[in-house]
Structure 1
Amino acid sequence: MTEQSDGDAELYRHLCEEKFNGPVWKAIAPILTRYAMQVIGSAMCLRQIDEMMKTTRVPFTPTTHELMRLATDGQYRTDVLGYAVAKQLARFRLAGLDGKGWSPEGGASIKTYFVNGCVIRVIDELKKQREDKDHDGVADAEAREQVRLAACHDPLSQDSVDPAAVAIRRSIIKEQLNTLISADQVIVWGKASHWSAAEIAEHIGITPAAVNRRWAKLKAEHDWISRLGGEGQ
């Protein structure tokens, strides 16, 4: 196994030993939640969520209207994503307690495994909306609270600490992002969302060093990117 998979295996062993109800769970749950909110939220904004859905192998194709609404309607996107992540966090915990959760033999990191599950929950939610059914409300109170806290870290969230800074970033990023190629969009969004170079690299399939080189070049070439401030340094 790789160093990362060894670390994930050790982490998951601790989660199982404390039955997903101790200090390790309390530390990892918000990390997984924020990561999923950032990765899937950016894919929705960049209209790339359909590509993530394909990797789940669930037979579902989002409509043009669904993709457009997820990309442009911030409240709708927050509602769908919040439901999906809260539901998956509860499922992740229950599957672990039942001995049917993540395994290093699956080949995916814990973060990737969790994100893939969240994407399936997004599909579930869109299916429910097509059928005009109410939510089943399975996501527990703790999971919903983790999602609420994670939303505060969204670079475009209305709940961020500095509303003026949020408004500026919202205007700059949304206006200019579509002028970039797909990989550069993810790099800029990821840096604005405080992702590490390694997290961005995993998302687009290049090395962390390549992410940092491209980020430096983007800042040098685009004044609007350099004006994003101290984020993603």
Structure 2
Amino acid sequence: MPEPPGSTTESAQAAVPDVPEKPSPPLSGDGWRRLMRDLGAPRKKRTAEQDRGLFELLRQYEFRGPAYDIVMDNLAGAARRIMLAGIRNGSVFAECARIGRPVTDEGMIALLQEDAGEREEVVAELLAVCVPRFKRYALVDGGWKPNGGASLQTFLVGALVRELPNTFRKWARDHQRNKPGLTDPSRLSTFGRTPATDPVLHAVTADQIERALAGADPGIHVIAEMIRLGYPWAEIAQALGIGEKAAQQRWTRFTRKIGKIGKSDGNGNGNDESDEGGQR
């Protein structure tokens, strides 16, 4: 029996050919000259007139093709540098709080500020989310106005800042799911028996470690596990993607939160003071 007109069966759908996307028009010689003129010097702030020229050029070429790719690479590269620096020095989090979208997990903020690899991961995710939105809402739909006051760069960075709390929460959840399970009592009890390289582990009970680790960031879990297994600080630091001194400082701050360790070591650093044999 023949299919009725307008049928949406799989066979009817398969018969409908895909419509190829119209190719973007080639960039003319004048287009290239306008592009290079309005992009300006590397890492130098563009004028409002240059931004207006770029926008008009992109609109002429339907926000596709080589001009669009080059402009977005330029904007995204600058936005990446701004966000990496802002996360590291805390100014981005201050801006999030100012606009009513605070990020409040101090432990995870500290990890992000200390770990360059994690910052790169978060900013890359931000750009993956925000650049397509920027194209649609700011450029194609006309959300960005040449006479609106904000530059193209500021408009994109503002979008990244507004999205940061969402991306930050997702990143933090992923870390919590993937961190080592050191709160398992059967594993924690080995701290008191294993000849670890850090003598502070011999001064605390498994229960104390479990309570302290419950509120610690994932980096501390990694440090604790590697210390338990006898890794040197150089390898611990390499695993975290930070310097050896920074890794030791993170561990020192953690041990200071455990009262018994603080009392047994007057300067709060279990790595600097030991008996002649190197173990207590």
TM-score w.r.t. length of structure 2? 0.42
Structure possessing the higher relative contact order (Cα contacts under 8 Å, 6 or more residues apart): 1
Return the structure number with greater helix share: 1
Query: Over alpha carbons, which structure has the higher Rg?
Result: 2
